[in-house]
């Protein structure tokens, strides 16, 4: 058992590591950040997507012990002062949110996509979200939400 410090949503957090814990387990169980979900625990569904150093990553495939010094942002870190980020707000307004289980991962993936490519076209949006499964929406309104977010002038998602 060792203790390491990881940076989550801008704050240093001490976590206890035995060895095999995934970042997803640590976030959910030790830190109480339950936004990232366990949908498959196999890196396929994308429900556990978080930002690691600005890039979308599967928390279920990352060992927490290797995250020392990494800058991690979970869905809980997207809103500021209780205000949803423009991307989050676009998901709400477009009606993209149904059961919501995939949504934390989905909106993180969308945030990462737009950070890298501020004006993605539809094809790029589809590719950017190809690793995030949703069983409710059929993706139509998810793509619409991202389209709206990137075309709403002046606001960085």
Partner 1 sequence: MTATTSAVGARLPRLEAAGKINGAARYTDDLARPFMLHGAILGSPFPHARILSYDTSKAKEFPGVEAVITAEDFPYLPLGAIVKDETILARDKVRYVGEPVAAVAAVDRQTALEALKLIDIEYDELPAVLDAEQALAADAPLIHENLASYFKIFDCRCGGNVLSEQSIAEGDVEAAFATCDVIVEGEYRTQAQAHAYLEPCGALAEVDDRDKITIWSSHQSINRVQANVSEALGIPMTQIRVITPRVGGGFGGKMEATVQPLAAALARKTKKPVKIVLSREDDFAMMRTRHPTRVWMRTGAMRDGTIVAREAKLLYDGGAYSDDSPGVLAFGLYMARGPYRIPNFRATGQLVYTNKLRSSGFRGFGNPQVTFAGETQIDELAERLAIDPIELRLRNAIRKGDKWVGGQTVTSCGLAECLTRVRERSDWHARRNAAGRSIEGRRKGIGVTALAHICGVLGTSAIIRLAEDGSIVLNTGSVDIGQGADTVLAQLCAESLQVDVSRINVVAPDTDATPYNWGTGASRVTYMAGRAVAGAATALKQKIFEHAAAMLECSTQDLTLAPGGIVAVAGTDRKVSFFDVSLRSHYGVGGPPIGEHAFVYDGEPFDPKRSTMVGFPFSNLGVHMFGAQVVEVEVDEDTGKVTPLAAWLSHDVGRAINPLAVEGQIQGGFVQGLGYALCEELVWDDGRLTNPTMMDYKIPGTLDVPLAIETIIVEEPEPSGPFGAKGVGEPGIIGAAPSVANAVASAVGVRIHQIPLTPERVFDAIARS
What residue ranges bind partner 1 (CB under 8 A)?
Answer: 28, 33-42, 44-45, 47, 74-76, 78-79, 84, 88, 91-93, 95, 97-104, 107, 122, 125-127, 129-143
Minimum CB separation from partner 1 for residue 80, in Å? 11
CB atoms within 10 A of CB 138: 10
Q: Based on CB atoms, which residue is closest to partner 1, 69 or 134?
A: 134
Count Cα neighbours of 149 within 13 Å in the Cβ-side half-sphere.
Answer: 32
Q: Based on CB atoms, which residue is closest to partner 1, 115 or 139?
A: 139
Q: Based on CB atoms, which residue is closest to partner 1, 43 or 71?
A: 43
User: Which phi and psi angles does 98 have, rounded to 5°?
Assistant: -115, -100
Minimum CB separation from partner 1 for residue 77, in Å? 9
d(CA 48, CA 42): 10
User: Which phi and psi angles does 49 have, rounded to 5°?
Assistant: -60, 130
């Amino acid at each position: 058992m060792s203790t390491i410090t990881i940076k989550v949503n801008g704050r240093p957090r001490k976590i206890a590591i035995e060895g095999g814990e995934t970042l997803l387990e640590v976030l959910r169980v030790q830190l109480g950040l339950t936004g990232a979900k366990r949908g498959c625990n196999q890196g396929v569904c994308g429900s556990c997507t978080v930002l690691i150093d600005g890039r979308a990553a599967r928390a279920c495939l990352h060992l927490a012990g290797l995250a020392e010094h990494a800058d991690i942002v979970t869905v809980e870190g997207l809103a500021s002062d209780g205000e949803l980020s423009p991307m989050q707000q676009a998901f709400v307004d477009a009606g993209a949110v149904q059961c919501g289980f995939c949504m934390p991962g989905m909106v993180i993936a969308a945030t990462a996509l737009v950070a890298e490519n501020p004006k993605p076209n539809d094809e790029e949006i589809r590719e950017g979200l190809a690793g995030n499964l949703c069983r409710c929406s059929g993706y139509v309104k998810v793509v619409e939400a991202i389209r709206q977010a990137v075309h709403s002038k002046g606001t960085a998602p």
